[in-house]
Amino acid sequence: AGGGRMIDRIRKWYYNAAGFNKLGLMRDDTLHEDDDVKEALKRLPEHLYNERVFRIKRALDLSLKHQILPKDQWTKYEEDQPYLEPYLKEVIRERHEREAWNKK
């Protein structure tokens, strides 16, 4: 159990060290937009997509101004939920299925 707590502390430290949370971004906002991610984004419900666009625009604005959000507005490790991951997993599964079918 002690090892698990240590790993969790390291994860939290790394999460904060990465810095995207200081701009109000979530982990899934930072994914490289390859074809799979682009397809997953098309499948997002409208409210999740709009929230993502808002976070990215705000982060770009802050970055241009060389600013970060006040600490109470940073995205917290515990609150960062992988909103895109279920859609991305489905897209990747479908692509692998298509590739396997095309090999036949």
- Token readout for 69 is 């959000």
| Assigned CATH for 2-103 | 1.10.1090.10
Enumerate the domain spans of the chain: 2-103
- Which string of DSSP letters, residue by residue, matches 80-101? ---SSHHHHHHHHHHHHHHHHH
Question: Which residues, other chains included, contact 80 with Cβ-Cβ below 8 Å and sequence gap of 6+?
Answer: 15, 21, 26, 27
Task: Inform me whether the pLDDT recorded for 4 exceeds 90.
Answer: no
Q: What average pLDDT does this structure show over 5-32?
A: 95
pTM score, whole prediction: 0.86
Q: What average pLDDT does this structure show over 27-40?
A: 97
- Token readout for 24 is 């109000």
pLDDT band, very low/low/confident/very high, at 104 (cuts 50, 70, 90): confident
Q: Kindly report, residue by residue over 37-88, the tens digit of the pLDDT.
A: 999 999 999 999 999 999 999 999 999 999 999 999 999 999 999 999 999 9
